[in-house]
Structure 1
Amino acid sequence: MSDEPKPAELLAEIYAMAGAQDWGGVAQRCTPDFTVYEADCLPFGGEWTGSDALQRVAAAMYGTWQEASVDIHEIVGGDEWAVVVLTLTMTSKRTGKTFSQTVNEAGRFENGLLKELRIHYFDAAEVAAEA
């Protein structure tokens, strides 16, 4: 049995570092060609590539809202993938409406480093409409 951390443990570490804004630590745990995939319909949508991509997409996402907060519920995983289940609560700069979305963020690891992160919103159209 390997003592190497599993993807769920690695992803939990990355999210803890991101929450503490330890972007250097996050970048060290991502491959150089790491890619974040956000829904194309969002103002911060598309593919964000590079070991600093999570920092850049987080800045763009948080900058879209008057306020935004993340509540992580659970991180589960297997040998290659881990999934974060969270609630993202946002307040629209445009309408002032506060609303929440369930979001699943699926991360794939390669040689102990995060290779890709695919963001799945419960209703990306609602997020886009409020942005």
Structure 2
Amino acid sequence: MPDDGQGSRLDAFYAAEAAYLAGGMDDAAAREAFRNCFTPDVVVREPESLPYGGEWHGREGVERLMHRLREVFDEADFSDRRTFECGDTVFMAMRSRIRSRATGRTMMNSVLHRIELRDGLIASMEIFHWDPAAIRELCDPDRDS
């Protein structure tokens, strides 16, 4: 990552997301942490097929997305992060371990984030999950484990 704070800003975002989903950060602390990572006009895109899918606009949209993620998951860990930089575009490949709040089941998933940076802040983020169908099944209490 560049040494201008972008890497630490992304690290701060992933740490705040994991802490918030696990209940280790209250709404006010999360709001402050997320606001320090995103531009005011940020757009985050998650696959429509997921329980939290869609386009989330602005910092308030990010807050709503994080709240929705917290409703769906009670744990998320991000490991094996690899960063690929192309100017102001950063690709972050990682493994995500998530636990469904509704079922208590966990899974590992490969994820790629395409992140556009502006002035050191996240201006857009598109999330690509290796197996979105498995995430839906994980969260479905009517599915066998």
| Structure-1-length-normalised TM-score | 0.77
Aligned equivalents of 1:69 and 1:10: distance in 2?
Answer: 19
Is 1:110 the counterpart of 2:109? The answer is no
Task: Say if 1:126 and 1:27 are closer, same or farther in 2 by CA, change over 3 A.
Answer: same
Deviation at residue 96 of structure 1 after TM alignment = 4.3
Is 1:43 the counterpart of 2:48? The answer is no
Number of the residue aligned with 1:5: 4
Gaps in structure 2 of 5+ consecutive residues? 20-24, 140-145
Residue deviations 1:60-84, cap 9 Å, x none? 123113x322123224142212233
Is 1:72 the counterpart of 2:71? The answer is no
Aligned residues: 128
Gaps in structure 1 of 5+ consecutive residues? none
Aligned equivalents of 2:99 and 2:14: distance in 1?
Answer: 22
Task: Say if 1:53 and 1:75 are closer, same or farther in 2 by CA, change over 3 A.
Answer: farther
Task: Say if 1:8 and 1:130 are closer, same or farther in 2 by CA, change over 3 A.
Answer: same
Q: For 1:53, which of 58, 61, 72 is the aligned residue?
A: 61
Aligned equivalents of 1:83 and 1:91: distance in 2?
Answer: 24
Deviation at residue 93 of structure 1 after TM alignment = 4.7
Select between 53-62 and 3-12 the one with higher mean Cα deviation. 3-12
Contact 1:36-1:47 at 8 Å conserved across structures: yes
Q: For 1:29, which of 18, 23, 37 is the aligned residue?
A: 37
Give the match's secondary structure for 1:10: helix
1:71-90 equivalent positions in 2, closer than 5 A: 71-78=78-85, 79-90=87-98
Task: Say if 1:30 and 1:96 are closer, same or farther in 2 by CA, change over 3 A.
Answer: closer
Select between 94-103 and 109-118 the one with higher mean Cα deviation. 94-103
Aligned equivalents of 2:9 and 2:100: distance in 1?
Answer: 32
RMSD: 2.6
